[in-house]
Amino acid sequence: MSALPLPRLRRPHRPRSERVDTLWAMFRRLLGIPVVLFALATLVFIAMRLLPGSPTASLAGGGTNLTAAEIAQNEARASEALGLDQPLLTQYGTYLDNLVHLRFGESFFGSNSVLSLLGDALPGTIELTLAAMTVAVLLGVVTGVVAALRKGTWIDTTTRTVATVSFSLPWFALGVIAIVVFGVWLRWLPVLGRLPSSLDYHPTTNFVLLDAILQNRFELVGPWIQHLILPATTLALSMAGYITRIVRASVLDVLGDDFVRTARMKGLTESAVIRRHVLRNSWLPIVTVLGLQFGSLLGGSVITETVFSYGGVGRLLVQGVLQRDYPVVQGAALAIALLFVLVNYAVDMLYMILDPRIRKG
Amino acid sequence: MSDGTGSDPGLGTTDALAAAPVSGGAIRSARRGWDRDGRDRDGRDRERRGPMAKLRRLGIGTSWPAKVSWVFLVAIVLVALAGPLLISADPVRQTSSAMLPFGSPGHLLGTDDLGRDELARLVHGARPLLFVAFASTALAAVIGIGVGLLAGYAGGVVEQVLMRAVDLALAFPSILLVILLVAAAGPGMASLVVGVGVSLAPGLARLARALAARETARDYIVAARLGGTRTPRVLVQEILPNIAGPMVAQVVMTLSVAAGFAAGLSYLGLGIQPPTPDWGYMVQAGQEFLYSAPRLVVLPAALTLMFVVACNFVGDDLRDALDPKGTA
C-alpha cells in the first residue's frame, strides 16, 4: 500500500511591503475588467441558450395569452434573432461579434432599436442607483456615528439590530409599504414614475438634472428629487445597514486614540473632531462596501423600478422577460452587467484618491 | 441581540453564590420560592423543568426580538400546514361580492377585486412561499456546503478553481441571475426553486470552505486519514458535524434572503403563477387598487416583511447559540 497523502502544508506567508501589495492588487483588477465583462457576456449567452426549455418556446410566449399564430411568429423571430440553426460555437462567435460592434438588434414590439431603448432607460437607473448610494452613505454614517458615540445604550442596540435586519429586507415589500404610507395615507410624496406627466419634459440626455441645466428649466429639479426620494430610500436601506456597522466599528476603533485626544485638547468642537479626524478612518471601508454591495443594489433596482413604475433598465428587463422580448432581455442584462463592472472600476479609482499610499506609489 | 445575558438556570449556580449575603432582590425572589438563578428558598439548586427551560439552557430565545420571531415563525409554519384545512373559504373561487372591506360578515379581512376571500388567500398563500423558501435554501445548502467542503478539504488547484467561480457568482447581482434563469426556463415553481437555490449557494460555499479548511488542518482529521478513512466519509462524518453549528445559523439567514427573492420574483410575475394564491403576486395584483383598498397590498407585503425579519432574528439567535465564538 502506498503512503497516504497528508494535508499539504500551506506555504508560510511571505511579508511584502504593503504598497507593493496594494498596487499589485490594483493592477490585477484593472487587467481583470475586460475579463469580467467577457465572463458576464458569456453568462448571459449561456443563460439564454443552454438551459433546459427551448428559449424560442418560452420566449415566444407559451402559457401567456397570445394566439397560436402570434406564438409561432415570435418563435420564428426569436429563432432567427438567435441564429439557432447555426452550430453553438458559431452562435457564440456571432454573439460576441455583435456585442463588440454594439449591434443589439430590435425589440419585437414596436420595432424600436434596443440601443435606443437602453439610451432612454440607462439614465434613469444611473440616477436611481447614485441617489440610493448617496442616501445609504448619509444614513449609514449618521446612524453609525450616533451608535458609536452612544455605545452600549439602547440607541446603540436598536441601531445595530435595525442595521442587521435591513440586510435582507425584500425591496418589493418595503417599496409598496412605503408607497402606501407616504403616498396614499400621508400624501407627502409622489409614488410613480420619474417626473409628473403634467410637466412638459423633452429629454436631451435623459439625465433630468443635466437636462434642467442644458434646457435652463430648473423647475424640473424639485419634482425630480421628490420622485427619487422613496425609490432611492427603499433601495438604499440594505446598503445603509452595512455602512452603519462599518462606521460604528471604525469610529469605536479610533475614539480612544492619542490623535483624537490631541484634537480635543486643541479645543476643536466634538463635531469637528468626528468629521475631520475620526471619520477619515471610515471612508475606505465605506467605499469598499459601495463596491461590494453595488451588485445587489443593481439587482434591487430591477425590483424597485418595477414597484415605482420608474423608467429604467431594470423595468425594461422585467418587461422584456414578461413579453418574451428576447433582444431587449439580452440588451438590458448586458447593460446592467456593464454598469456593474464600470462602478467597480470607479471604486478602484476612488481608492487611489482616498488612500495617499496608493497615490504616491 | 448578541449580548448573551439571558438567565441561565441550573448552570450558573455555585456554593459561593448560594452563600452570598442576601440582598433585597433575593428576599423578594425568596417569597416566590426561587430566584432567577434557579435556587430555592434554602439556596439549594432547583432545576427548572419544561420545554421552555430546556430551550433556555440551549441558549435559544435569549432576547425578546428572538422570542417573538421564533413564535411568529412557528405560527406561520403551522398556519401554512394546517390553515388551509381549517378555513372553509375557497381562495380561488370568484364571487360577486367584490372589494368588501375589513370585517364583512363571512369575510373577516374582506374580499379582493374578484370577490375572493382575502383571509383564505393569505393563509393559502403562505404555502408556496414557504415551500419555495425552504426548498431553495435546502438546494443552496447542498450545493454550497458540498462545494465548500470539497474546496476546503482538497486545497490546491481544486480550491482555486472552485473559489474563483464562487467569487464571480458572488459579485454578480444574484437577482439578475435568477431572472435570467427563470426567463430561460419559463416561470413556475421549479425554476424559481432552482434559480434562487443556485444563486444563493455561493455565499454558503464561501463559509463552508473557510470552516472546512480550518478543520482539515486539525489532528483528528489527519488521524482519520492515517487510519484509512475514505475521503467521502472524512467529509461527511468527520468534518461536517464539526462545522454544522455555524453552518446551520448561516443557512437560516439564507432562508430569509430566499423568501425575499421568491416573493420578489412572484411579485414581478416570474414566480408562482396565478390563480395559485401567493403573497408576492397578491401585492402586484393589489397595486392596481392602492387608493381604494390599500389593505390588498399592505397585508401580504407586511407578512412577507415580517417573515423575512423573523428568519433573520432566528438565524442570529441560532448563531449565538450554536457558534458562540463567532466564526461564521
Q: What is the pLDDT of residues B48-100, one digit of tens each?
A: 566 666 666 666 777 788 888 889 999 988 988 887 777 777 777 777 666 66
* Integer Cα distance of A192 and A180 in angstroms: 12
Task: Indicate the pLDDT class of residue A135, thresholds 50, 70 and 90.
Answer: very high
Q: What is the ipTM of this complex?
A: 0.76
- Residue A299 confidence (pLDDT) above 80: yes
Look at B267 and A303 and tell me if their CB atoms are within 8 Å.
yes
The kind and range of the H/E element at B280 are: helix B279-286
- C-alpha A355, offset from chain centre: 24
Top residue of B69, B176, B233, B306 to mutate, by most chain A CBs within 10 Å, is B176
Look at A296 and B173 and tell me if their CB atoms are within 8 Å.
yes
* Integer Cα distance of B282 and B285 in angstroms: 5
Specify the amino acid at residue A298.
L
Instruction: Supply the pLDDT for residue B98.
Output: 66
User: Å from B215 to nearest chain A CA?
Assistant: 11
Contact A311, A90 (CB under 8 A): no
What is each CA distance from A202 to A110, A197, A205, A212, B157, in whole angstroms?
A: 21, 11, 9, 10, 56
The C-alpha angle with vertex A298 and arms to A54 and A37, in degrees rounded to 5, equals 65
* Integer Cα distance of B297 and B277 in angstroms: 14
CB of B177 within 8 Å of a chain A CB? The answer is yes
Contact A120, A208 (CB under 8 A): no
* Residue with the three cell numbers 390588498: B296
Specify the amino acid at residue B190.
A
Top residue of A54, A321, A343 to mutate, by most chain B CBs within 10 Å, is A321
What is each CA distance from B315 to A248, B61, B134, in whole angstroms?
A: 22, 11, 14
Chain B residue numbers touching A298 (CB-CB < 8 A) = 173, 176
Specify the amino acid at residue A264.
R
* Integer Cα distance of A13 and B144 in angstroms: 28
CB pairs under 8 A between A and B: 173
Instruction: Supply the pLDDT for residue B7.
Output: 41
The C-alpha angle with vertex A74 and arms to A71 and A79, in degrees rounded to 5, equals 125
* Residue with the three cell numbers 398563500: B125
Top residue of A180, A181, A192 to mutate, by most chain B CBs within 10 Å, is A180
Chain B residue numbers touching A40 (CB-CB < 8 A) = 172
Top residue of A82, A168, A308, A310 to mutate, by most chain B CBs within 10 Å, is A168
What mean pLDDT do residues A55-60 have?
53
Chain A residue numbers touching B269 (CB-CB < 8 A) = 318, 322
Chain B residue numbers touching A59 (CB-CB < 8 A) = 183
Residues of chain B with pLDDT under 50: 1-35
Look at B264 and A180 and tell me if their CB atoms are within 8 Å.
no
* Integer Cα distance of B49 and B56 in angstroms: 11
Average pLDDT, chain A: 79
Q: Which of B168, B226, B305 sits opposite A173 (nearest CB)?
A: B305
What is each CA distance from A106 to A114, A326, B66, in whole angstroms?
A: 5, 9, 52
Contact B217, B296 (CB under 8 A): no
pLDDT digits (tens, 9 = 90+) for A195-254: 877 777 777 778 888 888 888 788 888 888 888 999 999 999 988 988 898 888 888 888
Look at B1 and A164 and tell me if their CB atoms are within 8 Å.
yes
Instruction: Supply the pLDDT for residue B42.
Output: 56
CB of B310 within 8 Å of a chain A CB? The answer is no
Instruction: Supply the pLDDT for residue A1.
Output: 45
* Integer Cα distance of A94 and A67 in angstroms: 31
DSSP letters, B95-110, are: -S-TT--TTBTTBTT-
Look at B294 and A185 and tell me if their CB atoms are within 8 Å.
yes
Look at A296 and B174 and tell me if their CB atoms are within 8 Å.
yes
